[in-house]
Amino acid sequence: MEQPAFASGAVEASTSRAEGRVVLALTGELDLAAHDDLERYIAQLDAERPAVFLLDLRGLTFIDSSGIRLIVHQRERSAARGGRFVVVHGSAFIDRLLEISGVRDLLEIVDDPEAI
């Protein structure tokens, strides 16, 4: 079930839920301007304790260190409650930033969100 879009700064998000899974699809630019609002929104979604929290990065055009920190924080939150955190590949630029930062090795990354 698709939820109303979330928007803050230059990032927007849509949320869907199905079969114990929350899917958060981001579009635009994930940077410091959106960090606090998006962090609160993600925490609200995680409070539902989904078995799988899927973060779809395919619509992002930019991410900075605050966005990377947000991803790592959600990975930790999911792991702490025994949930699974999965990321859908973003653009080559986004994937490269995750690799350079060392975060890519910490994540379960998939090409197709339907495969989860």
pLDDT in tens, 2-39: 444 677 778 999 999 998 999 999 999 999 999 999 99
Inside any domain, residue 39: no
Inside any domain, residue 86: yes
Domain ranges, residue 103: 1-31+50-60+82-116
26 φ, ψ to 5°? -100, 145
Distances (CA, A) of 29 to 25, 33, 62, 105, 115: 12, 9, 5, 23, 26
pLDDT in tens, 45-67: 999 999 999 999 999 999 999 99
Inside any domain, residue 102: yes
Quote the number of domains for the chain. 1
Inside any domain, residue 103: yes
List of E strands, 31-106: 52-63, 84-88
The domain that holds 93 is classified in CATH as 3.30.750.24
Inside any domain, residue 72: no
Inside any domain, residue 68: no
pLDDT at 114: 85
- pTM assigned to the model: 0.91
Inside any domain, residue 42: no
Inside any domain, residue 23: yes
